[in-house]
A and B are shown apart, each in its own frame.
Chain A
Amino acid sequence: MSPETTGIAGIALLLFLFLLRMPVAFAMAFAGFIGFAYLSGIESAFTLLAHDIFETLSSYPLSVIPLFILMGSFAFASGISQRLYTTSYTWVGQLRGGLTVATVIACSGFAAICGSTAATAATMGKIALPEMKKYGYDDELATGTVAAAGTLGILIPPSTVLIVYGILTEESIGKLFVAGILPGFLLSLFFIATVIVLCLRNPDIGPPGPQTTWKQKLRATTGIIEAVLLFLLTIGGLFLGWFSPTQAGAIGAFGALAIGVMRRRLRLKIAIEAAKDGLRTACMVLFIITGATVFGHFLAISNIPFVLAEWVGGLPIPPIAVMAVMIFIYFIGGFFMDSMALIVVTIPIFFPVVMKLGFDPIWFGVIIVLVGEMGVITPPVGVNVFVIKGIAPDIPLRRIFRGILPFLVALIILTVLMTVFPKIATFLPGLIRY
């Protein structure tokens, strides 16, 4: 077999192993190892395997990932989310559909200190769903809002998926973070607009909550000062060049821990459990990257990415059509795979094509995160939907998925807008001078 044919066989083996339910990380390492052994000999493959595992897991640039995950875990456990929700609830809860609007705002705020969709959906679901139930909100609206708004976690910085994309493509993580701000803000507005439209069409689905006084509003606002400070310190410090991404992650994690301790929410046992949870997530992500490194080395010697980039570059169709096909692949792939795993698997193949066609790599990173968000809320592996189902077991999955549909439309509209106006993602990173 030629290297290219072996490359295609390796990709087929990888997909087959995925179907057999082998963990994504191990499947990539295994398929890469077998393919490398076929092309370069078993001894080279043995050496590559040990070398890649040791080098990747001890790579300093990758340490940004565990630290931002730890920050999210501590923020999750320290009650910041509760205060964010209380603040937005106090401001907009008395409006029609106000509790769902408050949920979107609180999710946006929490996404600014936590890079995980599941954590954002879980933390807000636990707080917001009982409140919405209490005030007679429609189940579909309530669960759909929390599941969809939870996806903001991977778009608004710090985003774990953007960090991984930045590492795989050697793009600036700072610029990627900044690129996610405007689309994240716009998506929050789109979600709020969706809620308002739904409640205007059927006022019964989102009755108003209790009235609050200005004094209550102002008092509640003081509760989010620490979250704002934490965001400004980490992401602002990164934006201004004070910290490297790893340093920003460590400061953020330490800050979230300190807030939890000062607020007396993070007792030793809870802090340990939060750190353990973060460690397990970080372990999963870093092993996926290790697997992708082994698989990437196999793909590189099979020449597949370069042949594909040359072939696609020579096709007599406009680049935007190729991009549309790639976005569609991410959209469909997101139905079956975790967004992080999907990006890790496809980037070594698609990224050379993206560069060959002249697209902005920062814009592409944000676009695929946006499309990945759709995968988080669509069947059969919509992680956020299962998180919400776990919090509200009495609501059938079918109803949660139906509640998500209007928000999916909002996500699609933003994706189209970003494709037509790439400046939405590239404007802010263009202001950074490093």
Chain B
Amino acid sequence: MTGLDKFEKFNRKVSMAMEWVGLVAFILMMLITTVDVIGAKLFLLPVFGSLDMMMLAQLTAMTFSAAAALILGRHVQVEFFVLLLPRWVRTLVDCIVFFLGFVFFTIIVWRLFLYSYDLQIEGEVTPTARIPFYPFGYGAALACVPVCLVYLSLFTESFLKVLKR
């Protein structure tokens, strides 16, 4: 097994593990709202801060599943043009796109950390339950790290193919 294979395997493991965190948050979204609706409509007892919890659960669910969705090819792409190109041009195009993806997500991780730091310094909290935003911001930034790693791995793989040619 080459170093690149090991790196890919590591990325997959980390991404799939993070997806479990996203899954728990996703199921929580359904449960919080269901309990809130039943509580509010039948017993006049809504869940305190349910909207706040929904917002934060959604942020967690989406960011923690981003890398798994990328690995499994779930992000929509326009396929028809690149498929018309010769194989080596396709590899070159992939190399450029994966590099852009890596750089872009590195910027996203960096800026999300800074944004979360601002939220922490300014003491930003959710409107009702007054839950601090910043831990979830740091969590979102951290959850985007595997996306960078996946892009780095894809870029390295296609770059090596280009070099070989």
Contacts and interface: CB of A to CB of B under 8 A. Distances in A.
Nearest to A288: B76
Given A54-B115, A242-B41, A280-B69, A23 B75 contact: yes
Given A51-B115, A67-B30, A18 B107 contact: no
B58 A57 contact: yes
Contact of A58 (B59, B80, B111): B59
A282 B61 contact: yes
Contact of B65 (A19, A60, A280): A280
Contacts of B41: 242
A158 to B, nearest CB: 14
Contacts of A67: 29-30, 33
Contact of A283 (B34, B62, B78, B108): B62
Interface of A: 17-26, 29-30, 33, 46-47, 49-51, 53-54, 57-60, 62-63, 66-67, 70, 242-243, 246-247, 249-251, 253-254, 257, 272, 275-276, 278-284, 286-288, 336-338, 340-341, 380-381
Interface string B93-130: 11011001100100110011011000000000000000
A240 B41 CA distance: 14
Contacts of B33: 63, 67, 246-247, 249-251
B11 interface: no
Given A50-B111, A54-B140, A60 B55 contact: yes
Contacts, number: 170
A337 B55 contact: no
Given A23-B76, A50-B115, A282-B62, A253 B30 contact: yes
B56 interface: yes
Nearest to A24: B76
A19 B78 contact: yes
B interface, how many residues as a size bin?
A: 35 or more
Contacts of A284: 69, 74-76
Given A21-B97, A60-B55, A286-B62, A276 B29 contact: no
Contact of A279 (B22, B55, B97): B22
Given A254-B34, A280-B68, A381-B78, 17 more contacts: A20-B97, A21-B97, A23-B101, A33-B104, A49-B108, A57-B62, A57-B140, A63-B33, A66-B62, A251-B37, A253-B34, A276-B23, A283-B61, A286-B58, A288-B76, A340-B76, A380-B79
B43 interface: no
A372 B78 CA distance: 15
9 contacts: A20-B81, A21-B78, A21-B97, A26-B104, A57-B59, A247-B33, A272-B23, A282-B26, A283-B66
A401 to B, nearest CB: 14
B37 A58 contact: no
Contacts of A280: 65, 68-69, 72, 74
A344 to B, nearest CB: 10
Given A54-B112, A66-B29, A242-B41, A26 B58 contact: no
A181 B103 CA distance: 45
A63 B115 contact: no
A60 B69 CA distance: 22
Contacts of A243: 37
Nearest to B27: A275
B140 A46 contact: no
